[in-house]
A and B are shown apart, each in its own frame.
Chain A
Amino acid sequence: MTEEELTADAHHLVGWEKHRFLVMVGMSIIIALMLVAVSMKLYESSGAAQLDLSRPGYEHVTEKVATSEVFKGFPAVGEIDKKVIEEFRTMYHKRAAQATNVDSFSGDVMSDAALAIDAPAAPVEPTE
């Protein structure tokens, strides 16, 4: 097809057909934005956002997250005998102590007094 024929064809196009390429680009952007919105919604509603320490403001916390330890756990297949149970007990109690040794999310740090937003004490009336 020659250039003249293409130009002649283009003259027959009407309305949006003249801008098909731009429409395609626009639609692609709209679809991409919709997919991003859906994925952001899933990211927030699934609880992943709360565990994501790469968010701005959490960089210093990332260093405190324990990543070095690789806990293999207890094998799910094999015989059960006295020695195996004893091995499991030792492993379990050690891990249980790690889990229960911290009293996490206690409320004292968020009290009104700790945040200095408690009601001020009523003025003491002078005694006669």
Chain B
Amino acid sequence: MTIFILATLFSGAIFGFAASAEETAPMTDSHIARIRTNCVDAQSTLFQLHATDAGLRVNRGQIYESISTKLIAPFNSRIVLNRISDETLLSTAAQYDKQLEAFRQQYQLYEEAMSASLRINCVNQPVAFYDSVVDTREKRRLTHEAAADLHKTIQDYGVKVDMYAKNFQADKS
């Protein structure tokens, strides 16, 4: 029994070590050399992307913001004032506002990560630069997901408004 437990612990330790070694596998010299050679061009590409994203964030942000403040909130307020409110419309609006805040925060984290990647002297610190790019890419993915969540909620609200219109007509007829 004791031997079995020891064998299990030992094999677990071995597999655990192998898994962590795989996760933090050191870069090969040829990979580091490739990063060092191409990183200045990569940083130039990232700089362009950074600037383009800033414009995209402002344009998208204006549209997302206007949907909340100039369409959803006034419509919900109006149906509440007329005492014909719909719980699903109100809860979707609350969800949209939360997701909009999450999008803002996520973009800020992404932008800070990108700025950090651009500040690194990549010729002297190729590994740090690579790690920073990986981190930035992950934050960009999360920003993309936050935007996709917003898109889904925008469409959901549209579907619910269509339902509301249909029910409203049915009630009136």
Chain A, interface size category, equals: 35 or more
Which residues of chain B come closer than 8 Å to A57, judged between CB atoms? 47, 51
Task: For the complex, give the distance between the alpha carbons of A77 and B133 in Å.
Answer: 49
Complex contact B161–A115 (CB within 8 A): no
Give the interface size bracket for B toward A. Answer: 35 or more
Contact of A107 among B45, B82, B140, B150 (CB under 8 A): B140
Q: Is A21 an interface residue (CB 8 A)?
A: no
Q: Which one of A22-30, A33-41, A63-71 is at the B interface?
A: A63-71
**Contact call A107/B144, Cβ cutoff below 8 A:** yes
Verify if A19 is at the interface (C-beta below 8 Å from B).
Answer: no
B21, CB-defined interface residue at 8 Å: no
A115 to B4, CA, bound (A): 50
Are A73 and B51 touching (Cβ within 8 A)?
A: no
A90–chain B nearest beta-carbon distance, Å: 11
Establish whether residues A100 and B154, one from each chain, have CB atoms under 8 Å apart when the complex forms: yes
Given contacts A60-B51, A80-B78, contact A102 B45 (CB under 8 A): no
Residues in B with CB closer than 8 Å to A15 are: none
Interface of A toward B, CB cutoff 8 Å: 47, 50-51, 53, 57-58, 60-62, 64-66, 71-80, 82, 85-86, 88-89, 91-93, 95-96, 98-100, 102-107, 109-112, 114-120
What are 23 A-B contacts with C-beta separation under 8 Å? A47-B107, A50-B111, A51-B57, A58-B55, A62-B55, A66-B59, A72-B70, A74-B74, A74-B78, A77-B81, A78-B78, A85-B168, A88-B75, A88-B161, A92-B161, A95-B66, A96-B154, A96-B157, A104-B144, A105-B147, A107-B140, A116-B42, A119-B34
Excluding A64-B55, A107-B140, A117-B133, 18 further A-B contacts by CB distance (< 8 Å) are A47-B104, A50-B111, A62-B55, A65-B58, A71-B70, A72-B70, A76-B74, A86-B165, A92-B67, A99-B60, A100-B151, A102-B60, A103-B144, A105-B143, A110-B46, A116-B42, A117-B42, A120-B31
B residues with a Cβ closer than 8 A to A are: 27-28, 30-31, 34-35, 38-39, 41-42, 45-47, 49, 51-64, 66-67, 69-71, 73-75, 77-79, 81-82, 84, 104-105, 107-108, 110-111, 130, 133, 136-137, 140-141, 143-144, 147, 150-151, 154-155, 157-158, 161-162, 164-165, 168-169, 172
